[in-house]
Amino acid sequence: MAAALSATARSAIRFLLNGESVAVTDVAPQTTLLEFLRNRHGLTGTKEGCAEGDCGACTVVLAEPADDAQRLAWKPVNACIRLLPSVAGMAVFTIESLKSTEGELHPAQRVLVDHHGSQCGFCTPGFTMSLFGLYKNIYRPTRAQVEDAISGNLCRCTGYRPIVAAALAMHDQAPAPAAADWRACGVAADGSQVVGTGETELLARLASLAQDGTFAYEAAGRRWWAPRTGDALAALVDAHPEARLVAGATDVGLWITKQHRDVGDIVYTGEVADLKQIRETATQLEIGAAVSLTGAFAALSGEWPELREVWARFASVPIRNSGTLGGNVANGSPIGDSMPVLMALGATVVLRLGPATRKLALEALYVAYQKTALRPGEFVVEIRVPRRSSPLLLRAYKISKRFDQDISAVFACFALTLDGERITTARIGCGGVAATPRRAIQTEAVLVGQRWNEATADAAARTLADEFEPIGDMRASADYRRTVLGNLLHRFRLETTGTAVPTRVEQLASTTM
């Protein structure tokens, strides 16, 4: 059992940094990747704009073996809240790596120059790395894909028009990197995947870094464990109940950068193989707690395409690449967006304490503000979502000041099953209106057994607007939250009862002019 530091444990954080092997032994485990890049390696191209994963100036690209182990998965992440030990075994690429050895700009760089996509330039390395990630993963992206790829990158100078234009032109930019170059696009024009020799070489080098067993690291009096199995994780948590369980660090990272907290010893879930699985059984989706938000949302959208928009609006690509569904669920924030959806879908969570596991309805996990039913040492293993029932009327709505990368003022997910016109079941998950994510039980009761029409919606909307007692804060007043929650039920009715009227401002964005 690798519960404690042992002689066989690796003592260095080994990874590839811009293609060079790096072994770190003396940096505190709660050091961010950004601090390491700038202060230890003098790689100052990566910038700090906010130190909370909201501006993207620190974007770097991580490459790690994809699920099939035949190629690399390329993922932009925010270096400012990425803890350094979590990149062990990966290839980290920063802005300094993008030019070819001959000094040729990468197409993601060239197009930004040609389209006048930089003004002050401080955000530019981050945008460039986001565009590089996009370049690798999608051949000739659409405008929507471009907007999604840079939804976590803020620019205060350009108004974005030239950056979007640049991104749309990337794959037509000559010269493109040779196919053998790791910088080359990983997708052919026909959509098939391309794995060049550069990527194969990187894979081989990463394979040589890979080791079995719990990775244990210690520096500056603080320890980091990255177990590989659920059993090892359970044993570690049991042996070190004081240690902090960390997944993507998209929240804990802020405790470090913003609150200057010493988070103590850390048990990292990001390497636990059995927590990174998504299983589809005949009756349910089982999503491991350490599955990234990107992975989890892809699976959920596959089953429930109605959810695509809210998932695309959940944080940003880099955050979704680092953050996990289990982290979002375990964190239990009243303004987290995954829980209202999962509640409406009837999800349960599997919890583990030592060898024992138990199952809870998701809504039962949340006890009070930032308080869950998790016992000391207990952790979320997986989230189980019953497969789609049919016919199902499903919509999820996020209301926030900004469309992309914002925290919800109000979030609502409505799921109705009908028998003819009659509502047989109703589940409504709500966020932003109470101290925890909540089901709207009273409103559900108003709906069940009724015909799904305007009169029913009116009655239900009135109940829903009064069902919670939200607070007012910088995101919205209490009144607004209540009113909008009720109004969203009207929108749901309009969108699911065959009325053809436009219900979203977004529908008009590409149709006018």
Partner 1 sequence: MNAPHPRPLAGTSAGSPMIAGAPEPHDSALLHVTGEAQYTDDLPEPRGLLHVALGVSPIPHGRLRGIDLDAVRAVPGVVAVITAADIPGVNDVGPIQHDDPILAQELVEFAGQPIFAVAATDVNTARRAAKLAKFDLEPLPAILTIDAALAAQSYVLPPVHVARGDAAAALARAPRRLRGTLRAGGQDHFYLEGQIAVAIPREHGGMQIFTSTQHPGEVQHMVAHALGIAAHDVVVECRRMGGAFGGKETQMSLFACVAAIIARKTGRAAKLRLDRDDDMRSTGKRHAFSYAYDVGFDDDGRILGLDLTLASRCGFSADLSGPVNDRAVFHVDNAYWLPDVALHSYRCKTNTVSDTAFRGFGGPQGMLPIEHVLSEIAVALGRDPLDVRRVNFYGTGTRNVTPFGMTIEDNVAPEIVAQLEESSRYRARRVEIAQWNRTSPVIRRGLALVPVKFGISFTATHYNQAGALLHLYNDGTLLLNHGGTEMGQGLFTKVAQVVAQELGVPLATVRISASDTSKVPNASPTAASSGSDLNGMAARNAARELRQRLVAFAAGKFGCDPEVVEFRDGAVIAGTRTLPFAELARMAYMARVQLSATGFYATPKIHYDRKTLSGRPFFYFAYGAAVAEVAIDTLTGEHRLLAVDILHDVGTSINPALDRGQIEGGFIQGWGWLAQEELWWNDQGELKTHAPSTYKIPTAHDVPEHFRVEFFGQPNREDTIYRSKAVGEPPFMLALAGFDALRDAVASVADYRLAPKLDAPATDERILAAVTELRQRMLADG
Looking at residues 362 to 421 of the shown chain, list those that interact with partner 1 (rule: CB under 8 A). Answer: 399-407, 409
**438 phi, psi to nearest 5 deg:** -140, 150
Of the pair 128, 338, the CB lying nearest partner 1 is at 128
End-to-end CA distance of the chain: 65
Least separation in angstroms between residue 488's CB and partner 1 is 7
Of the pair 279, 401, the CB lying nearest partner 1 is at 401
Cβ pair 126, 50 in contact under 8 A:
no
Least separation in angstroms between residue 113's CB and partner 1 is 5
Find the binding residues for partner 1 in span 17-56 (CB under 8 A): 38, 43-52, 54-55
**493 phi, psi to nearest 5 deg:** -65, -45
Of the pair 96, 458, the CB lying nearest partner 1 is at 96
Q: How far apart are CA 283 and CA 291, in angstroms?
A: 20
Give the full edge-to-edge strand order of the sheet including 284-288.
278-280, 284-288, 379-386, 348-353, 356-361
Q: x/- binding map, residues 110-139, to partner 1, per CB under 8 A?
A: x-xxx-x-xxxxxxxx--x-----------
- Counting other chains too, the contacts that 273-280 makes at CB distance below 8 Å and 24 or more residues apart are 273/228, 273/229, 274/229, 274/230, 275/230, 275/233, 275/326, 275/381, 275/382, 280/387
Least separation in angstroms between residue 165's CB and partner 1 is 9
Q: How far apart are CA 394 and CA 158, in angstroms?
A: 38
Of the pair 39, 197, the CB lying nearest partner 1 is at 39
Structure tokens at 438: 């909540």
Cβ pair 166, 112 in contact under 8 A:
yes
Which residues are bridge partners to 266 per DSSP?
224, 244
Identify the residue among 2, 33, 34, 57 touching partner 1 (CB under 8 A). 57
Q: x/- binding map, residues 76-115, to partner 1, per CB under 8 A?
A: ------------------xxx-xx-----x--xxx-xxx-
SS3 label, residue 446:
helix
Q: x/- binding map, residues 240-269, to partner 1, per CB under 8 A?
A: -----------------xx-x---------
Least separation in angstroms between residue 277's CB and partner 1 is 31
Inter-CA distances, 239 with 213, 353, 381, 409, Å: 17, 12, 18, 40
Which residues are bridge partners to 16 per DSSP?
21, 91
Identify the residue among 192, 283, 390, 510 touching partner 1 (CB under 8 A). 510
Find the binding residues for partner 1 in span 284-343 (CB under 8 A): none
How many Cα atoms within 13 Å fall on the side-chain side of residue 45?
17
Least separation in angstroms between residue 110's CB and partner 1 is 8
Find the binding residues for partner 1 in span 457-486 (CB under 8 A): 473-477, 480, 483-484
Of the pair 274, 404, the CB lying nearest partner 1 is at 404
Q: How far apart are CA 66 and CA 56, in angstroms?
A: 24
Of the pair 281, 512, the CB lying nearest partner 1 is at 512
Of the pair 280, 473, the CB lying nearest partner 1 is at 473
Q: How many residues bind partner 1 (CB under 8 A)?
A: 91
Of the pair 43, 341, the CB lying nearest partner 1 is at 43
Find the binding residues for partner 1 in span 140-159 (CB under 8 A): 143, 146-147, 150-151, 153-159
Of the pair 433, 484, the CB lying nearest partner 1 is at 484
SS3 label, residue 25:
coil
Q: x/- binding map, residues 162-181, to partner 1, per CB under 8 A?
A: xxx-----------------
Of the pair 84, 290, the CB lying nearest partner 1 is at 84
Cβ pair 322, 268 in contact under 8 A:
no
